[in-house]
């Protein structure tokens, strides 16, 4: 039996093409809003994760490595490389005022893997002085201490033999003892180890004739020095002091390294704002317009309902329920579609846009989805207002007489 409760949904089904148009516009609006908010949140999440993972205020590298190491892009699309400077630099840096801690790192790039064109950045840290890698090792869930030929891999590295957790570099087997959580940056494509492992791999690389530095001395070389600045000191001033006092080095602050990602975030934010406006306003307008057309076309139907005893409150309830149902259905469809696409193709989008990308946790995503439903609710409210205006102006008796 037909009831007032079932009537709105039957009406929507009865005017299928107009209802579909309303649902489509609501879906586009919500998809643009949800997709935009999620994309911006994911890029911002990447920036924050990288900032936390970087852990150092200044990174010192040899000046001669300019061609291989661009501080601004290193965290987004670094091409694996290796360069060295004398380890005396470490003591010189420690003696500079404002330096709280300094820890060396040693780099090597893997040869192309047999499976593909992948080359990995191998990064060795000094467990005795390190303050940037070790704080994150606990998060990998490993309880094993890093020994000779043990490595921890970034989240983007998929090691070939998952069964025995072994990865090969220069014909040397390394045991994978853990994997870092994703940062959405080039750090995810790196492999971390201690100095002894790195020196062993450099020897293996050299014996294969692939190492490009003939006069390399493993005991007296470092690739970079990470610096933590004392509280109250300005990182940029300390970096300037390092550059002035130590010849042949380049010192870049964390802010400088993150500037490439921050620029990406700015570009994404402005593009997303423009996209949201471009979809939201016309979408809202069209959804309201289609609903108003639909209600206007059904004036006689509402007049007949009045004649059967339905008061204005019942007619309003029918119109409001129809508007809410169509717009919320469209909103939900838009959110699901844009959510699935962003979750599935996030890596592709980040790669094309040169930005870091880390999806927010599920709870935050659900809150964002709720926020993205607001435009649909607003469209429903505007549509209802328009419908109520049409219904209140309708003279049922006059309309029914016209039909006789």
For residue 186, the minimal CB distance to other proteins (Å) is: 9
Nearest approach, Cβ of residue 268 and other proteins (Å): 17
Under rule CB under 8 A, how many of the chain's residues touch other proteins?
22
Which region, judged by CB under 8 A, interacts with other proteins, from 97-105, 117-125, 204-212, 375-383? 117-125
Of 248 and 351, which CB lies nearer to other proteins in the complex structure? 351
CA distance linking residue 272 with residue 3, whole number of Å = 44
Which of 132/356 has CB closer to other proteins? 356
User: What are the residues facing 103 on neighbouring strands?
Assistant: 226
Which residue in the set 101, 118, 149, 165 belongs to the binding site for other proteins (CB under 8 A)? 118
Please, which residues have CB within 8 angstroms of residue 357's CB and are 6 or more apart in sequence?
Answer: 42, 43, 45, 46, 184, 346, 347, 349, 350
Binding string, residues 338-377; x marks residues near other proteins by CB under 8 A: --xx--xx-xx--x--------------------------
User: Which C-beta is closer to other proteins: that of 160 or that of 248?
Assistant: 160
Asked if residue 107 lies in contact with residue 120, where contact means CB atoms within 8 angstroms, the answer is no
From residue 299, alpha-carbon distances to 294, 305, 306, 390 in Å are: 9, 10, 11, 8
Q: Give the separation between CA 21 and CA 352, rounded to whole angstroms.
A: 32
Strands (E), 183-317: 190-194, 221-222, 224-229, 249-253
Q: How far is Cα of residue 221 from the mean position of the Cα atoms in its chain?
A: 36
The residue range among 17-25, 91-99, 110-118, 260-268 that interacts with other proteins, by the rule CB under 8 A, is: 110-118
Q: Which of 64, 73, 155, 259 binds other proteins (CB under 8 A)?
A: 155
Query: What are the distances in angstroms from CA 34 to CA 25, 201, 353?
Result: 14, 47, 19
| CA–CA separation, 360 and 46 (whole Å) | 9
Q: Which is nearer to other proteins, 114 or 247 (CB)?
A: 114
Q: CB 119 → other proteins: shortest distance, Å? A: 9
Q: Is 189 in the site for other proteins (CB under 8 A)?
A: yes
For other proteins, the binding residue among 1, 67, 91, 115 (CB under 8 A) is 115
Of 80, 133, 140, nearest to 110 by C-alpha is: 80
Radius of gyration, alpha carbons of the chain: 31
| Residue 181 interacting with other proteins (CB under 8 A) | no
Would you say 159 or 211 has its CB closer to other proteins?
Answer: 159
**Which residues in this chain contact other proteins in the complex, by CB under 8 A?**
112-113, 115-118, 120, 155-160, 188-189, 340-341, 344-345, 347-348, 351
């Amino acid at each position: 039996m037909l009831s007032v409760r079932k009537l709105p949904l039957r009406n929507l089904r009865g005017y299928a093409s107009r209802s579909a148009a309303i649902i489509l516009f609501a879906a586009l609006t919500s998809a643009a809003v949800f997709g935009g908010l999620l994309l911006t949140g994911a890029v911002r999440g990447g920036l924050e994760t990288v900032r936390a993972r970087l852990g150092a205020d200044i990174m010192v590298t040899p000046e001669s490595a300019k061609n291989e190491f661009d501080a601004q892009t290193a965290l987004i699309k670094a091409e694996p490389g290796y360069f060295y400077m004398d380890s005396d630099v470490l003591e010189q840096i420690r003696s500079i005022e404002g330096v709280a801690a300094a820890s060396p790192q040693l780099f090597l790039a893997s040869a192309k893997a047999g499976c593909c064109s992948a080359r990995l950045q191998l990064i060795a840290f000094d467990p005795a002085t390190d303050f940037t890698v070790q704080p994150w090792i606990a998060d990998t869930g490993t309880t094993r201490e890093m020994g000779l030929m043990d490595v921890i891999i970034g989240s983007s590295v998929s090691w070939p033999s998952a069964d025995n957790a072994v990865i090969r570099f220069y014909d040397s087997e390394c045991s994978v003892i853990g994997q870092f959580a994703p940062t959405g940056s080039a750090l995810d494509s790196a492999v971390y180890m201690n100095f002894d492992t790195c020196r062993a791999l450099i020897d293996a690389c050299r014996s294969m004739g692939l190492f490009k530095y003939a006069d390399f001395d493993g005991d007296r070389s470092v690739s970079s020095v990470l610096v933590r600045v004392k509280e109250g000191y300005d990182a940029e001033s300390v970096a300037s002091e390092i550059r002035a006092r130590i010849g042949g080095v380049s010192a870049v602050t964390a802010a400088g390294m993150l500037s490439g990602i921050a620029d990406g975030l700015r570009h994404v934010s402005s593009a997303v704002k423009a996209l949201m406006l471009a979809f939201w306003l016309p979408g809202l307008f069209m959804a309201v317009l289609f609903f108003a057309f639909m209600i206007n076309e059904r004036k006689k139907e509402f007049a007949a309902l009045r004649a059967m005893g339905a008061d204005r409150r019942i007619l309003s309830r029918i119109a409001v329920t129809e508007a809410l149902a169509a717009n919320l259905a469209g909103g939900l469809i838009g959110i699901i579609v844009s959510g699935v696409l962003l979750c599935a193709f996030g890596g592709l989008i980040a790669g094309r846009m040169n930005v870091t990308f880390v999806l927010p946790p599920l709870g935050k995503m659900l809150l964002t989805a709720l926020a993205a439903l607001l435009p649909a609710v607003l469209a429903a409210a505007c549509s209802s207002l328009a419908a109520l205006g049409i219904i209140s102006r309708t003279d049922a008796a006059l309309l029914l007489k016209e039909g006789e």
